[in-house]
Amino acid sequence: QVQLVESGGGLVQPGGSLRLSCAASGSIRRINYMGWYRQAPGKQRELVAAITSGGTTNYADSVKGRFTISRDNAKNTVYLQMNSLKPEDTAVYYCNADVTYTAWGTHGNYWGQGTQVTVSS
């Protein structure tokens, strides 16, 4: 009933910037939470940044001051602006959302397909 579509990944040099986007579609009544996770080969998936319906944000310590999460409620879209990128930021980035999809409050958790970000000279 709900799908998340990601875009914006690619290859960038250290110190460069990228902006990721994630658009939710389907039977959406309310998006309670949207966030970005990342996973590098051989490593555990980790939270990068998250934003609630009320606008509260959280960031991993490793990206504070460099990454910014934002949302466009009218478009059901969340963005991740990534500046001052480092090689250790290389990973597959996944969009995650908790969505209410019925009038009586049924909700579920959904994942996007992932987009590759590679930071290399």
DSSP codes, 68-102: EEEEEGGGTEEEEEE-S--GGG-EEEEEEEEEE-S
Residue pair 99/28 in contact by the 8 Å Cβ criterion: yes
Say whether pLDDT at 1 is over 90. no
For residue range 37-78, list pLDDT tens digits in order: 999 999 999 999 999 988 999 999 999 999 999 999 999 999
For residue range 72-81, list pLDDT tens digits in order: 999 999 999 9
Q: Which two tokens stand for residue 49?
A: 């940044």
Say whether pLDDT at 89 is over 90. yes
User: How many beta carbons lie within 10 A of that of residue 22, not counting itself?
Assistant: 25
* Phi, psi (deg, nearest 5) at residue 14: -55, 140
CA 15, CA 90: separation in Å to the nearest integer? Answer: 13
